Amino acid sequence: MLKGTGASEGIGIGTIMLIEEVSLDYTPTKVEDPEQEILRFQEAVQKFIHETEAQAEALKASAGEKEAEIMLGHVSMIQDPYMTGEAERLIREGQCAEAAFESVSDMFINMFANVEDEMMRQRAADIRDIKSGLLAVLLGVKEVKVSDAPAGTVLLAKELTPSVTAGINKDNIVGIITETGGKTSHSAILARALEIPAVLSVENATGILKNGDFVIVDGSKGDVISDPDGETVKEYTEKREKFLQERRELEQYRGKKTVNANGTEYELVCNIGKPQDAEKVVAGDGEGVGLFRTEFLFMDRDAMPTEEEQFEAYKKAALILKGKPLIIRTLDIGGDKEIPYMGLAKEENPFMGFRAIRYCLKNRDLFKTQLRAILRASAFGDIKIMFPLITCLEELREGKALVEEVKNELRLSSVSEFNENIDVGVMIETASAAVIADVLAPEADFFSIGTNDLTGYTMSCDRGNADVAYLYSVLQPGVLRLIRRTIQCGRENGIPVGMCGEAAANPQLIPLLISFGLTEFSVSAPSVLKVRKCISKWSKTEADKIAEKVMAMKTEEEIAAYLETIV
């Protein structure tokens, strides 16, 4: 059995089709006629755009309009004046079109590839896909087509790009296996939209499996079983039927309130990274947005987004949500992200360095520009402001003072429409913030627990480091105690407490969170119905009994083993 990341749930049983990478090798040449080479480059860009738009149309028919936007995003990226302008500049300096575009693409790839946020790392994968696509056009290489794959096919690739995924006939593809990618990668998003089971990040999958192998893909658990015997096939066929039945039953929770077995209501909202993601929230029956990561507005460009650009982005999300809450996290960026125009210095330990609220408070013009845009957008919806990486009360107070300063500036300007009483909250993602939650709560309008970073900071471990990844678990007693304390302090001070980390959608954690008193769950849009169903199963009394047992346990192993038995 091979292990990977279960990125699209369900069971697929079928035969491997290996998607082999085409060769895009070339020999860089010195260009004698730069203007002619620029014309060749521009013609290749136009051909790439035409082919990508055709792929988007195919994807719209098979997966839906929202998913087709992934391909249209590739069109937007390659039309970016900075990307094409830089390539043309290098061509004028004598580089061939292939080398020039590869150089520019690699700069952007390096900018995004090494950041911690998986959604941002996805940008690197997008640009790699664009680079391969345009190089294929320039070199006259035909890219892989999967549209002719026969029924019962399991696709196997090192990396399944959106451009390849766009050609999938979902009636014939029963599973997907890759060596790269995570749950938020576009391969995963498209696989979920097409309802195809997928297991990503399977180490050396293309070396172990081969064309024609018969396999089972368990996208729920992240397992790939090669050459299964008859009994195993029967077992997984039954699992597949059960899974499909449960998926059909989830639809009964669409349009319903999110309540536990006692009828207590909760807010079930979603995490987004771009304004257009709000459309997925509405389509997924989310009740608002609990985390809008604004970093995307600042990346993949050569200059700071203007106040007007930010205002339009926040306004767009608010209008899509039609009055549902929208929590906007202020810029969370640091030395781990290469953004040339921001002048971020390389740091020995960027995750504990000059980042997030620390950077913003020292760069007040940038911060005030963002706050002005958010406040202006607050006239169009139920917008709230959230500060990231708060570690002490002084940071919260200084941030709130700047909000008031910006309000005063707006009152004196021609802009008078904004929410005078906009909520300002704190993202609890450091151990310090959780420990002083009783100090922060009286001066915050809400808390939102970011369990991903809270776990990493509390356990002093990098989940990307294989040697210490065993420590990275939200079920560690230390992490659970900080979560409980944060919620308790919030309740005692009469402010709502949400959770926007991965744990908010974890069925094993939900009874604990109900017992602790969490009021808001912020999850991915595809998880909404499943989380709503899970919350509905638990009464406060049942949840309290489970929490009492768990909080008396001393090890993560003990807690994990117990929670496995209750779900």
State which H helix or E strand residue 2 sits in.
strand 2-3
Q: Strand 223-226 and strand 153-157: pairing? A: unpaired
Alpha helices, DSSP H, located in 114-229: 118-139, 162-165, 186-193, 205-208
CA distance 240 to 245: 9
CA distance 121 to 112: 5
Options 96, 360, 489, 500, the catalytic residue: 500
Residues in Cβ contact with 109 at an 8 Å cutoff, skipping those fewer than 6 apart: 124, 127, 128, 131
Q: Which residue in 341, 398, 407 sits closest to 371, CA to CA?
A: 407
For residue 394, give the amino acid letter: E
534 an active-site residue?
A: no
State which H helix or E strand residue 214 sits in.
strand 214-218
Label residue 157 exposed, middle or buried (CB < 10 Å: 0-12, 13-18, 19+): buried
186 an active-site residue?
A: yes
CA distance 122 to 128: 10
In 3-state terms, what secondary structure has residue 262?
coil
In 3-state terms, what secondary structure has residue 430?
coil
CA distance 435 to 362: 25
Residues in Cβ contact with 111 at an 8 Å cutoff, skipping those fewer than 6 apart: 124, 299, 300, 337, 338, 339
Options 74, 186, 461, 534, the catalytic residue: 186
In 3-state terms, what secondary structure has residue 513?
helix
Cite the active site residues. Answer: 186, 500
